[in-house]
Amino acid sequence: MVGMIAMPMWVLMIFLPKWKVTRFLIDYKVIPLFLSVIYAIYIFQAILIGGWMDFGSLTSVMALFTEENAVLAGWVHYLAFDLIVGMWMLDQNKKVGIHQLLMAPCLFGTFMFGPVGFLLFIILKTLKQKKHE
């Protein structure tokens, strides 16, 4: 269900990034804020069920992901933060001016693979800025 909350925002950002509805949703971070509320609920439930969470080692983090609410919280965490990164990329691109056909793979990459899309954007942004120096 939470994936279906994020998906329409990604479609808007990829295909209609300058549309006033898309810009409103980006400027006010509507979907990431909604996902943050859902995240807080899942984290609270996970703490109630399993106690305080230990992020101190890979073993303890893997143990956290045996609890359903913790896994759901982790998924919502990724959805929200990837959206925030995608929104930031579009905001940065207002100044940089990377063509939308090149931005689309950056946004899709961020949606599907998080840091890979971000890395692609940073590379394109750097190349574009160096070209204009």
Q: Which residues of the chain have pLDDT under 50?
A: none
Rg (CA), the chain: 17
The mean pLDDT value of the chain amounts to: 92
> What pLDDT sits at residue 83?
98
Report the predicted TM-score, pTM, of the whole model to 2 decimal places. 0.91
**How far lies 9's CA from each of 89, 91, 111, in Å?**
14, 15, 10
Task: Give domain limits for the chain.
Answer: 2-131
| Cα angle, residue 102 at apex, residues 101 and 103 outer, rounded to 5° | 95
CA 22 to chain centre: 15
